Structure 1
C-alpha cells in the first residue's frame, strides 16, 4: 500500500508531503493568496506577449498554541499506610478529694488497680512528597478484670480511716483518639549496609476516655462483708494538645526500630454515678475538673514480610497526673450542690500490641 500524501501548489511547482510527516510535525497554519501583479516578472508585462496566469503564493507557519496549565493537586502524597493491632493493656487510676475547708486533706480516695484490657487499634498515616505526614489513630478496649478500693478518712494524710470497701472492677471500656502532624528528616548512616535514620517532630490533638465500673461490693472497714446492688460508674476523660518526636532506625528497608516520646497537656474531666447513695443525684452524682500533663514512651519494631506488608510489635508506657485547678462538684438529690477541693487524678498504663502494617 502506498503511503498517503498531500500535494500543495507553490511558485516552484508541486510539493508532496507524506501524511505521516504532517501528523508528526507541529500544528501548522496555511495561508494561500494571489500574487500582486506588480510582483510578477517584468517579462510578463511586454506587449504582445502572453501573460502567465497569476501565481498563488503559499505561506505555511507554525500555529501558536496555548501552553496547558499544569494543575497541581492540593495534596500530593508519596505513600500511605494503614495498620491494625490487637493487644493487652493494664491500667491503674487513683483520685482523691479534700474535706470541707481542706480538712482533712484527703477525705475520700478511690483506686482502680490491675485493670486488664483487651484492645484493638486502627490507624493510617499519609506521607506527602514534601516529607510532611499526618496520622490518625483510634484504640478501643474492653475491661475484663480489675480491682477497686474506696477509702474515707477523718484525719489528714490518710489517717483515722473509718470506711473501706474492696470491690470488683471487671467491667467497662477505654477509648483513645489522636491526630498528629509532622515532618520527616532523613540521614543515611551506612550506605553500604543501607541503614538510615529518620527523625520526625510531631504535634497534634488527643481525646482519651476511661469508662470505669465498681461492682461486687465488699465492706472491709467496718468488716461487714459483701453487700448487694453495687453498680457505680466513673467516666474519666483526658484531652488536649500534644507534642513529641519519633526516632526511626531502618535497615535495608526490611527491619525498623522506633523510639517515640510524647508530652500531653491535659484537661481532665470526670462524671460519676454513685448508685447506692440515695442522698446523691442520679445519674450524675458528682463531677471532677483539673489540669495536668502526661508523658508517653513507645518502643516499636517492624519486620517486612513483603515490600508492602510488615509485621509490627510495640510496647507503650504512659504516666499522667492532673493536680492543678482541681474542683469536685457534688449534686444532691434535693437539688443542692457543694464544691470541694479535687486533689489529683493519677493514671499509669502499660500496653503491648501485635499487628500488621500495609503500605500503598
Structure 2
C-alpha cells in the first residue's frame, strides 16, 4: 500500500530551573508550530492464518514550512519573561516505522473487529533557523533538536465492506513509549557540540485513523485516509553539557507532540 499525504505537526517542551522542578518551575520553553509538508509511506500486510495478519509500515515526512518560539522566564508560572524569540523551522524531517500483529476477534462476511499489538519508532530532526534578521550578526543560527519516540502499540481496528467499498477505522494506545532527544545549540559557545543537551522521559499517547477504499479493479483499491497522533511525556531529565567538561541536570517538565495527516494511496492485492 503506497501512499502520499499532507502532514502538519507540532512539538513543545519546557524545563525547570533545577532537578526538583523549581527555581523557577518553568525556566525555558520551546514550541515548534505548523510544521507542514508531504509524507511518503508504504505498508505491507501478510495473512498468516484466517485470524492473524502481520503488518510492517514506514513513512517519511519532509518539513517545508514551520516556525519555532524560544522563551525564557525568571519567575514561576511563566512570569518575568527574559527572552522571547521567533525563528523559522522550515527544514527537517521525520521517519516513522512500525511492525504489528493483528488478531481477528470477530469476523463476518462484511465486518471484522481485530486487536493488534506491535512496536513503533519515530525519529525527528527539527531546526531553529534565522528569520529575515540574523540572531547574531555575522553568524548563522542553525540549531537542531532530534526527538526519538519508541515503544509498544496496543489497539483495536474495525473494518466494514459492502460491494466495492471498504471502510477501516482504528484507535491505538501507545503505552509507555520511551522518549529521548539530543540538541545542538550551535550559537551557544559555552555549550558542548554536537551534543549540547539531552532529554529523557517516559510517556504515553494514542492514535486514531479512518481509511475509505473503493475497488476499481480485481486487485486494486485506491483509498483516502486521515489520521491523528498525540504523544506526551511525564517528567524527565534535561542534562546540559558545557565546553569546560562540566554538566548540569534539571527537570524536563513535559514534552507534547501531535500530528494530523490526510492523504491518498492504493492497496494492491496479490
Asked if these proteins are the same fold (TM beyond 0.5), I'd say: yes
Deviation at 1:180, TM superposition (A): 0.2
Determine the structure 1 residue equivalent to 2:15. Answer: 97
Which residue number in structure 2 is paired with residue 137 of structure 1?
57
Offset, 1:130: 3.4
- 1:278 is aligned to 189
Tell whether 2:264 aligns with 1:350: no
Q: Relative to 1, partners in 2 of residues 1:280 and 1:307: Cα closer, same or farther, differing over 3 Å?
A: same
Match of 1:112 in 2: 32
RMSD: 1.6
Kept in 2: contact 1:145–1:171 (CA 8 A): yes
Cα distance in 1 for partners of 2:63, 2:32 equals 12
Match of 1:21 in 2: none
Residue number in structure 1 paired with 2:239: 329
Greater mean alpha carbon deviation, residues 279-288 or residues 209-218: 209-218
- Given that 1:147 and 1:168 are in contact with CA atoms closer than 8 Å, whether structure 2 keeps it comes out as yes
Q: Secondary structure at the match of 1:357?
A: strand
Mark the CA change 1:187 to 1:240 in structure 2 (over 3 Å): closer, same or farther.
closer
CA distance in 1, matches of 2:191, 2:113: 52
Q: Structure 2 CA distance, aligned partners of 1:293 and 1:218?
A: 38
Q: Superposed, which structure 2 residues align to 1:183-198 within 5 Å?
A: 183-188=103-108, 196-198=110-112
Render the CA deviation track for 1:106-162: whole Å, top value 9, x for unaligned.
000000000002100111000123321000010001100000000000011110101
Structure ranking higher on relative contact order (CA contacts 8 Å, 6+ apart): 2
Q: Structure 2: which 5+ residue stretches go unaligned?
A: none
- 1:128 paired to 2:48: yes
2: distance between equivalents of 1:104 and 1:145? 33
Whichever structure has more strand as a proportion of its residues is 2
In 2: Cα distance, 1:235 partner to 1:281 partner: 16
Residue of structure 2 equivalent to 1:209: 123
Measured against aligned partners, the alpha-carbon deviations of 1:192-236 in whole angstroms (never above 9, x if no partner) come to xxx6111110000000011100101578xxxx9775410000000
8 Å contact from structure 1 (residues 120, 140) kept in 2: yes
State the secondary structure of the residue aligned to 2:64: strand
Q: Distance in 2 between matches of 1:185 and 1:310?
A: 24
Q: Which residue of 1 aligns with 2:169?
A: 259
The residue matched to 1:256 in structure 2 has which SS?
strand
1:310 aligns with 221
Q: CA deviation at 1:97?
A: 0.3
**TM-score using structure 2 length:** 0.95
Of residues 288, 297, 301 in structure 1, which corresponds to 2:208?
A: 297
Q: Which of the pair is proportionally richer in helix?
A: 1
User: 3-state DSSP class of the match of 1:157?
Assistant: coil
Aligned pairs for 1:33-44 within 5 A:
none
Are 2:146 and 1:235 aligned? yes
2:85 is matched with which residue?
A: 165
Q: Please tell me whether the aligned partners of residues 186 and 196 of structure 1 are also in contact (alpha carbons under 8 angstroms).
A: no
Question: What is the rounded CA distance, in whole Å, between the counterparts of 2:234 and 2:241 in structure 1?
Answer: 22
TM-score w.r.t. structure 1 length? 0.71
Contact 2:135 2:141 in 1 (8 A): no
